[in-house]
Structures are given as C-alpha cells and as structure tokens.
Amino acid sequence: LEAGRLAGAGLDVHVHENDGQVSPLAQLPNVTLTPHLGASTLDSQREIGREVVRVIDAFHTERRAPAPTVLSPATLR
C-alpha cells in the first residue's frame, strides 16, 4: 500500500481494532479502516437473518447443520 502497488484497501478487521492503539495503516491516505462494522448494512443483516433461518430449518428438519456450521456433538443428541 505504501509503495503504491495496490491502489487502496478497505479493511474491516485489523490488528489494533478496539485495543486503544491507532493502526499504522490509518495513516495511509489509500486505506479505509472500520472497527468490524463493514457488514453492518441493511442488506448484509437481512442476508445473515436468512442464513440463520436456513441453518435452523436444516437442523430441525434433517437433524444436521449445513457446513461450515460448527455444533457441539452434544447438540446433535
């Protein structure tokens, strides 16, 4: 980014997120940082809701969780 090999970057997750420090990337004019809020749009929240319903429905009707959902083996008993 500093050398200009990349035109820019938008990063939603970074090392200094919420630790009180300022990321060195924040000083670069071609970088936009967000504190883990990039997915907080109406469209993405709707899609997350649809996916949650899909996973719950699959578990309820088929007793399986679609990959890559992680469930404890105890949950499947």
Question: Which residues are bridge partners to 9 per DSSP?
Answer: 31
User: C-alpha 7: how far from its chain's center?
Assistant: 23
Q: Which of 14, 16, 17, 47 is catalytic?
A: 17
Task: Tell me the C-alpha distance between 13 and 60, whole Å.
Answer: 33
The verdict on whether 62 is a catalytic residue reads no
Q: Which of 2, 14, 16, 36 is catalytic?
A: 36
The verdict on whether 17 is a catalytic residue reads yes
Residue 66 and residue 54 in contact, taking contact as beta carbons nearer than 8 Å: yes
Catalytic residues: 17, 36
